[in-house]
Amino acid sequence: MEKNQSVNTVTLDFYSGKYESILSDYDLAEEQIRFTSLPSQAILACEIDKTRYPIVILSNGKPAGFFVLHGWEGVKAYSDNRDAILLRAYSINSKFQGKGIAKRSLSILDSFIKSHFPTSNEIILAVNHQNTVAQHLYKVSGFVDKGIRVMGRIGEQYILHKVV
C-alpha cells in the first residue's frame, strides 16, 4: 500500500470561534494529557488572563494542534527577560500525530512571533523531565537547555530557551 505523498501545509492562527470544532473533536492519549492542557481548558484560562494568546495549528487548513503564547505574567516564573514569551499547553491532536506537523509548527513559530509579537526576543517553555518525546522535539527545533529546573505539578521540569 502506498502512502499518500501530498504536501502538508502547516500554518498558525489565533484561536477564534471558527475553530470551535477543535474543542469538540480534540483527542490526546492519556500519557500525553498528563503533561499538557486540553485546548478547552487553556482557552478558559486565556479568557481570564488577557496576557495569554491561544493559537491553533492548522494542517491543510484543519485544526490539528493547539498552544498558548503567554506574556510576562507567564514568563516571570522562569526568566527575568521581560521580552520573552512563554510557550505553554502545546499539543497535537492524536488524529494528526506522526505526520511532522509538530516539527513544522515549531519551525514557523519564530516568524509568527516576530510578526505578531515584535518586541519578543526569546521563547521559553517548561517540559516535564519524563516527557522525553517532547524534549527531543523541542531540542531538534532549536530550543536549548540552559540547566534551569523548576518543580511542576507532576515533577521536575526543564526550562528550554530559543532566541527569536
Q: How confident is the model over 127-146, as pLDDT tens digits?
A: 999 999 999 999 999 999 99
36: domain CATH number?
3.40.630.30
Residue 86 domain-assigned (yes or no):
yes
Residue 119 domain-assigned (yes or no):
yes
Residue 31 domain-assigned (yes or no):
yes
Q: Collapsing DSSP states into helix, strand and coil, what is residue 108?
A: helix
Place of cell 509568527: 112
**Total domains in the fold of the chain:** 1
What is residue 76's predicted lDDT score, i.e. its pLDDT? Answer: 96
pLDDT digits (tens, 9 = 90+) for 7-62: 689 999 999 999 987 777 899 988 888 899 899 999 999 999 999 999 999 999 99
Average pLDDT on 57-74 reads 96
Give the residue from 80, 86, 135, 126 showing the smallest Cα distance to 109: 86
Residue 101 domain-assigned (yes or no):
yes
Residue 78 domain-assigned (yes or no):
yes
Task: Locate 76 and state its grid cell.
Answer: 516571570
What is residue 4's predicted lDDT score, i.e. its pLDDT? Answer: 47
Place of cell 501530498: 6
Q: Which domain holds residue 110?
A: 10-163
Confidence of residue 5 (pLDDT cuts 50, 70, 90): very low
What is residue 6's predicted lDDT score, i.e. its pLDDT? Answer: 54
What is the spatial distance between Cα 161 and Cα 164, in angstroms, rounded to a whole number? 10
What is the spatial distance between Cα 85 and Cα 59, in angstroms, rounded to a whole number? 24
Q: What is the DSSP letter of 9?
A: -
Give the residue from 62, 43, 64, 44 showing the smallest Cα distance to 54: 43
Residue 1 domain-assigned (yes or no):
no
